[in-house]
Chain A
Amino acid sequence: MSAARLSLGRLALNGAATLSLGFILMPLFFVVWLAFFRQEIPSFPPEGYSLKWFQAAANNKPFVDGFVLSLQVGVLATLIGLVLGVPASLALMRHRIALGPAINTLLLLPLVMPGIVLGTSLYVFQIETEIATGLPVLGSLGGLVAAHSLVVIPWVVKLVTASLAGFDRTIEEAAQNLGAGPWTTFRRVTLPSIRPGLVAGSLFGFVTSFGNLEMSLFLVGPGRTTLPIAILQYLEWKIDPTVAAASVIQIVLIGAAMIVTDRYVKLSRVV
């Protein structure tokens, strides 16, 4: 009786899990399927299959330029995010700082702030900066990278502080006792220990930056468009599977990055 109830409960749980997973994977599945349709207007059932839309995506100059820009911005923003986020995490976790918890919350805030709000505020801020300094900020690569750094920092801070929380500081003392100065200790002992957080933080920061649409909409300049915006602009005129093909390429690249990362750092353990 109780065994039967148990297996019934398990069945219900498995069923619910399958349903949720299906719900999450459904759009992904359709995008991938759609990318291989032969006809221009997506309709069911497909009239046949083709790889021509992948070629179309690769020959689409806005897509290619957008991809390169997104890659540039993502890499630069991630680097800046690391340079600012790692020392911030160390300071927050290791020292009693006045308003420490408040600063921590502030650093995580861009993660929960709606992209539109962030975009609008940065737009106004960058215009004011241009007026005040006379430097071209809005629409420049620098302006875009600065904004994207803002969405990378929360990931770096969140994951690096999590790594530091379980870190045994006596191994730093052991290194110093053996003759290592502060910088060598950080490089040889601290850094390898927080590497999982560092790698995961960089990966999620980069993905967030690469896929960012709402904030970027306000900050791109003429002829300087990121991939998500290029896709949006294309969709205003056409709905053929070129967009689906471009998305599939993105999904494959990000998926590959996660699998490769996971070989070195178990992502499931960090996040």
Chain B
Amino acid sequence: MKSAVVQLPGLNRDRDMIAALTLISGEAPITIWQTETSIPDDVDLIVIPGGFSYGDYLRCGAIAARMPVMQAIKDKAAKGVKVLGVCNGFQILVEAGMLPGVLMRNTTLRFVCKEVKLEVVNADTHFTRAYAQGQVIRCPVAHHDGNYFVDDETLAGMQDRNEIVFRYAEGTNPNGSLSDIAGVINREGNVLGMMPHPENLIEAAHGGRDGRGIFASALDVIAA
């Protein structure tokens, strides 16, 4: 199982993500720069990490979504390669049209960094198999624009198809997102976007390991 981490100017949780993937798979991911137009064939998981790509100027993820590397990622996704977008990565996937909805400014209008609770609403995905259906896990968030929104019709379809993967649980919604949505998956089930940062809760030094399941699932190392 080979993974790749996308590096764009302004992304800043790339190092956290590389550390997490390395720790959990035992193998360092390759990195992909903004100007690259192809991604190696043996890559099975592409991760777009968090940060402030291109300063989040214009709109979070809007500039990144239009960089050449995104076409390469879209091509891979169309062939079934798994794509995980975390925080700014989620915003980029939404801006690129790879996931439905938008991520608006938090209702408090403030950046928020804290630990929240997440309910695993769909444990039957490539990214959540390590969890039990309905399991509530701890996970940190750190964002200014995590307020997920879609229209009613799209939401109903997503619910019918089980595309809502994580919801903020126990009253911990930090951003006012619709229906407490924290993470969603595409129709094909290979592109997941989420606002929380599982990569910051994977070892004793982080005070917990609840975030490991996402990487263990996606990297196919659940037994570990």
| Chains A and B form a bound pair | no
